[in-house]
Amino acid sequence: MDVRRADERYRGGDPETGIDSRHAFSFGPHYDPDNLRFGAVIACNEERLDPGACFDEHPHSHTEIVTWVVEGELTHRDSTGHETTVRPGDVQHLSAAAGVRHVERNDGDAPLTFVQTWLAPLAPGGTPSYELVPGIADSTPYAVREAGVLLHVRRLAPGERTAVPDAAYVYAHVVRGEVRLAGEELRPGDSARITGATDLEVEGVTPAELLLWELTR
């Protein structure tokens, strides 16, 4: 298990426009050849947008993009005609396929924080698609079929335990609170890259929320 702490993330964004980004993997000008991906995960970005801040329209291709809002509301608009508001507890999945453009902005009066994970698809190309699942439950994994992965959302009370999926690779990201995993205490923004997970459990130290990515490659 390889633990990466929140303060080890690469700083990015544009503070002058109200955007603060923290990157877990090599990203943009922060090139690190030893930190390009883990399994299918090629990016896990924590984004903080002030009210009115916006990622202007920009392109993506050959990437599966899954967004989890921590606080606030995210306004999404893309070139396939989707315009939605993403709230805490919702799972947003944009399959960029052969190419799509989108805008992400904070139209609210409060700060917006979200975690966005980029996944490498099983095959390049195809037709872009979009899905928004409101209020996903802990017991309902979300399948990103285009990448061959499952997302498990876990919300834990103090002392509560839950199993880590037995998988070739698991990427764990702590959204809020503190958890204990294989003897390590993880806090908000911390992550763990687990290879060959078997019979592992994660325990809530405080009320906590985490994302567990079950990866086959």
Residues with Cβ within 8 Å of residue 102, at least 6 apart in sequence: 57, 58, 60, 76, 77, 78, 79, 94
154-194 confidence digits (pLDDT tens): 999 999 999 999 999 999 999 999 999 999 999 999 999 99
97-150 confidence digits (pLDDT tens): 999 999 999 999 999 999 999 999 999 999 999 999 999 988 799 999 999 999
- pLDDT at position 114 is 98
**Mean pLDDT, residues 2-18:** 95
Going from the C-alpha of 166 to that of each of 44, 92, 163, 184, 213, the distances in angstroms are 21, 25, 9, 18, 11
The pTM of this model reads: 0.96
28-64 confidence digits (pLDDT tens): 888 999 999 999 999 999 999 999 999 999 999 999 9
